[in-house]
Chain A
């Protein structure tokens, strides 16, 4: 099951880290970094059913 309830131990820190990660990168470099990050996180999640739910959720315009 995909977790949609709050689950980040330090939400502000994690978010700031994500934004800071892209400091000084060109758009192409940022895209490449995001792709690597998604792949790494995909492996951390592992379960194909959870990934499918996450992808479905991301597809929905909010």
Chain B
């Protein structure tokens, strides 16, 4: 991947900190390394829970270039919990329809538009720099309200020495080096993770032998707001091609170039324009906003937790972009880790709770790697036989609907369900599978607003047409109740065939356990389990 030389937004310019003048390393409770989307969201999640957090980033803001453009419903729900979704929705482009072409034929179209009764759409398109800026704006707003978040730009971590109670960091700045001591370290330093390298940890997986040219162009065009994907396009600009709208009249164009290419020659603007012209036709005028050539890989670390050092986002796992599972899964890491780290630090949960971050998010990463590898294998068949079958599928798909279900130009990111997690408690057979223990709560309208907005920052006991006390004290905490009466949406999403329901919901809005009626010992036990006490 190419390094960013210029900044799209300067967000956290370097400023000398008093820590740099101390003789002894200054002490911090949590240090997050990396201020990309994952590091920013991590700081926000912890800060909003009152956990003091320091973010170190070697840059001073967001680099030029879009990279991620598709942000999923689940990602937006998480950002909403963090107070950042409003501007994302304001700026982002909502889309639901995708079309898949082979040569000059439309094979099929899909509509992601989910059922009604959700606060957020299936996807918005938004340039990654905006996504990061809005997260940073939310940090500024949280800081103004007293959240203990500190950002330090121009701070490059050069050395890390972990031990049983935390880690010591060496940091380089333009004023010279200094060091810090922290109880917990969250490494959000991206796919090339220098921290992972410093700790000598592996990052194994597959490299896909193909190059993709990404060109973001600005144009006034009448193409609809849809995802268009071509296999073997008739305009011959690549082995596959993608066209997708972003805000500010910018369109993402993506061409599959093959393995043996001359990168430098391919990045010549004249050559890029020839490819884009062939696709758009001779009469469309446009500006090249950003171009880059990528090779893609699917890989992850063996474990995301190494004692007091936790890896999140691209530093822990990397996928190809087909499926939009990079940043979207990084935000799910944050969602999973934030409450657990806060609970362990506050002594409300045992250290073992953090092992469930590892097992649940490794499960999520494996799901993403599987989906993303399959899509990449379909787009870039890796042998003669796989190309033979791929082409047979495309040939049949023009006329036979069954073959369209096999065509894979990316299975788009859906929330991960933590099936089999050690934190999960009892399930109830009459209730819908979609809200089984481990799954992210489906949103639903309620008379007082969206369901997800009514869940508390900690655990919530959601009751539907059920008797239960207004709150329960268990595990040294108060478990507040949200009492609702059935609506068609709540029945479809939570009750199923059951007459009533009690849901124990985690702070990351995943279901921990569910019952038909309230049983205090059972709820107390499931609560203990969800806190990693079993």
Contacts and interface: CB of A to CB of B under 8 A. Distances in A.
A36 B402 contact: no
Interface of A: 31-32, 35-36, 38-40, 43
Nearest to A31: B388
B35 to A, nearest CB: 44
B396 interface: yes
A39 B393 contact: yes
B402 to A, nearest CB: 4
Main secondary structure of the interface of B (DSSP, over half): helix
Contact of B388 (A32, A40, A43): A32
A62 B391 CA distance: 30
B402 A32 contact: no
Interface string B370-412: 0000000000000000001101110110001011001000000
A36 to B, nearest CB: 5
Given A32-B395, A35-B389, A35-B392, 16 more contacts: A31-B388, A32-B388, A32-B391, A32-B392, A35-B388, A36-B392, A36-B395, A36-B396, A39-B389, A39-B393, A39-B396, A39-B403, A39-B406, A40-B396, A43-B402, A43-B403
Main secondary structure of the interface of A (DSSP, over half): helix
Contacts of B391: 32, 35
A39 B403 CA distance: 8
B387 to A, nearest CB: 10
A29 to B, nearest CB: 11
Contacts, number: 23
23 contacts: A31-B388, A32-B388, A32-B391, A32-B392, A32-B395, A35-B388, A35-B389, A35-B391, A35-B392, A36-B392, A36-B395, A36-B396, A38-B389, A39-B389, A39-B392, A39-B393, A39-B396, A39-B403, A39-B406, A40-B396, A40-B400, A43-B402, A43-B403
Contacts of A36: 392, 395-396
Nearest to A35: B392
B465 to A, nearest CB: 38
Nearest to B390: A35
Contacts of B402: 43
A26 B402 CA distance: 27
Contacts of B403: 39, 43
Nearest to B401: A43
A24 B139 CA distance: 70
Q: Which 9 A-B pairs have the closest CB atoms?
A: A35-B392, A43-B402, A36-B392, A35-B388, A35-B389, A31-B388, A39-B392, A36-B396, A39-B396
Contacts of A39: 389, 392-393, 396, 403, 406
B364 to A, nearest CB: 23
Contacts of B396: 36, 39-40
A51 to B, nearest CB: 13
Contacts of B400: 40
A31 B391 CA distance: 11
Interface string B151-167: 00000000000000000
